[in-house]
Each structure stands twice: as C-alpha cells, then as structure tokens.
Amino acid sequence: RKAVVKITTGSQALDELLGGGIETLQITEAFGEFRSGKTQLAHTLCVSTQLPTSMKGGNGKVAYIDTEGTFRPDRIVPIAERFGMDPGAVLDNVMMLLSHSILLVCMQRWLKNLSDYWWVFLELTIPNKLNLYFFQKLAQMLSRLTKIAEEFNVAVYMTNQVIADPAGGVFISDPKKPAGGHVLAHAATVRLMFRKGKGEQRVCKVFDAPNLPESEAIFQITGGGIAD
C-alpha cells in the first residue's frame, strides 16, 4: 500500500479539518456558493503541490483541467511568492487542459499521459445540466480518475458548480442535490461544502468523508492564496 501524502491548503485551520491537508489516493470535491473559494483553493494547490514534503507539499507537478475557463496564471505569481517559490518555475509545472464538456472524450485520452506526473491536481467544474452523453463520459472519466489516484498516488481535487434556484434566480447550493448528480458524489471520497462567512471570511464544512468528523474551519482568501 502506498503512503498517503497530505498537501497543504495554505490554511492551518483547513489543513487540521482535513486531517493534515488534501490527500493523495482519493478524490476531494469542493462544492458550494459562488465566490466561496473553490477555485482559489485550486490555484493555491497548484503551488503547494510543488512544495517539498518537508513544507507540507507534494514535491510534484500539477495537471489542471479547466472546464470553465477560470484558471488565471497571474494568480499563481503572488501565491508562489508567498511560499518562496519561483513563479516561472511553478507555472512550468502546471499542465493546463482547457476543456468544454463536449471534449471530455479527448480529456480521457489525455488522462492516460498523467502517469508521468507525480502528484496531480485537477479542477474540473461539473456543469449544472448534464445530457445523457456527457453524463456517461463524466462517469467514465471519474472512474478513470479514481484509478489514477490509486495507481499513481495522485491527489485529485475537483470543484462542483452551484445550483441555480429557478424560483428566486438566486444562486444557492443544495447539498442534497449536487451538480453532476450522483455520479460525482459517488466518485468523491471527501466532500467539502464551502460558504461565505462574516466579512471576508470563508467557511469549509466536511460534508461527507469516511474518516473525518463533520466539523467546520474558517479561512480567508488573500492575495497569496488560501490562508488563515
């Protein structure tokens, strides 16, 4: 059995909630309201994954699957600087794949090349509405990702789009009805619910995890990424 590597989120409180950080060998899913920090955590992980293990990193590279066009290379710069890393070198180790739902087939082929990467993070935003074709492709891809995580000791982080409330036109997150339906809920081993707290605070709640208590942690989004 491979040793689990725990990669820091940038927030000590959040790391403690997760029992040390985002773990390899499993899929971690973040869902919750807009601007709650799901994508900012993905950007922070792009950097912390590359830190040495002595600094709570994964000593590895990153693959970032972006289905929503939310990856911002310029956000990586101050985050890398905060962790004392060279931004250019950090960016070189982030492999990008821009993908729209129809291109999931290509993504599957591309995933076969992932074994070259030591620790990998992915931001995969699952669209709200799924047609049957996409649903099938998604299920196949998630099963492939689960195998990759187990085979190559990779950490998979994915974000899940919010649910739109048709009545009010307000964006709400409904934990009982995650976007992507049950396909995603089954694939993810750890499910985290993000929300906005007081002022600039953000809150992360362990929604579903086999080995973690259902508690909460408060964190902040800063120029240097996720922090306490």
Contact 210, 25 (CB under 8 A): no
CA 146, CA 177: separation in Å to the nearest integer? 22
Nearer Cβ to ligand ATP (26/159): 159
In the complex, which residue's CB is closest to Mg ion?
Answer: 39
CA 106, CA 140: separation in Å to the nearest integer? 12
Q: How far is the CB of 36 from ligand ATP (least distance, A)?
A: 4
- Answer for which of 37, 60, 178, 180 binds ligand ATP (CB under 6 A) is 37
Contact 84, 78 (CB under 8 A): no
Backbone dihedral angles phi then psi of residue 104, each to the nearest 5 degrees: -60, -30
38 binds ligand ATP (CB under 6 A): yes
- Answer for which of 2, 34, 88, 182 binds ligand ATP (CB under 6 A) is 34
Q: How far is the CB of 40 from Mg ion (least distance, A)?
A: 8
| Helix-, strand-, coil-residue percentages of the chain, each rounded to 5 | 35, 25, 40
Nearer Cβ to ligand ATP (74/84): 74
50 binds Mg ion (CB under 5 A): no
Contact 218, 57 (CB under 8 A): no
Q: How far is the CB of 43 from ligand ATP (least distance, A)?
A: 8
Nearer Cβ to ligand ATP (36/153): 36
Please identify which residue in the block is written with the tokens 């994954």. 49
Size of the site for ligand ATP (CB under 6 A): 12
Distance from the Cα of residue 52 to its chain's centroid: 20
Nearer Cβ to ligand ATP (101/222): 222
Q: How far is the CB of 17 from ligand ATP (least distance, A)?
A: 17
Closest CA relative to residue 157, chosen from 59, 37, 74, 54? 37
Residues that bind Mg ion (CB under 5 A): 38-39
Residues that bind ligand ATP (CB under 6 A): 34-40, 162, 194, 221-223
